[in-house]
Amino acid sequence: MAYDENLADRIRDLVSGERGVVEKKMFGGLAFLVGGNMAVAASGQGGLLVRVDPEGSAQLVASTAATEMVMRGKPMAGWLRVGAGAVRTKRELETWVGRGVGYARSLPTKR
């Protein structure tokens, strides 16, 4: 499955005012990196892949529609999948993009 180009456009619109944003194909989708750190992606599996503080990811899974990303059978704290149905509105998408961008900004810049 290819990533949702409309969703990628909506993310692009939200991050267009951020400095240091780069787009890169990753994880079968289109990722938006801030300072070299992945913040959010239009996932190739549908919906979003959002990077958040690992210490807060369990709370987000418990209180939102997000699930932890699983890679090679291992849950990845700090990497969340958010289904397309949970980001239909601009406000819903802004919330998740804001979480991802905020966390990426808190990390050291990669060169």
What residues make up the domain containing 89?
5-106
CA distances (Å), origin 55, targets 2, 69, 81? 30, 15, 16
CATH of the domain at 67: 3.90.1150.30
pLDDT in the model for residue 1: 64
What's the structural domain count of the chain? 1
| Within a domain: 26 | yes
| Within a domain: 64 | yes
| Within a domain: 18 | yes
| Within a domain: 65 | yes
47 Ramachandran zone, left/alpha/beta (phi>0; psi -120 to 50): left
| Within a domain: 70 | yes
For the segment 12-67, what is each residue's pLDDT rounded down to a tens digit?
999 999 999 999 999 789 999 999 999 999 999 999 999 999 999 999 999 999 99
Please report which confidence band the pLDDT of residue 111 belongs to, taking 50, 70 and 90 as the band edges.
confident
| Within a domain: 111 | no
Q: Is 48 in a helix, a strand, or coil?
A: strand
Read off the pLDDT of each residue in 97-106 and give the average, rounded to a whole number.
98
CB-based contacts of 84: which residues, under 8 Å, 6+ apart? Answer: 4, 7, 46, 47
| Within a domain: 57 | yes
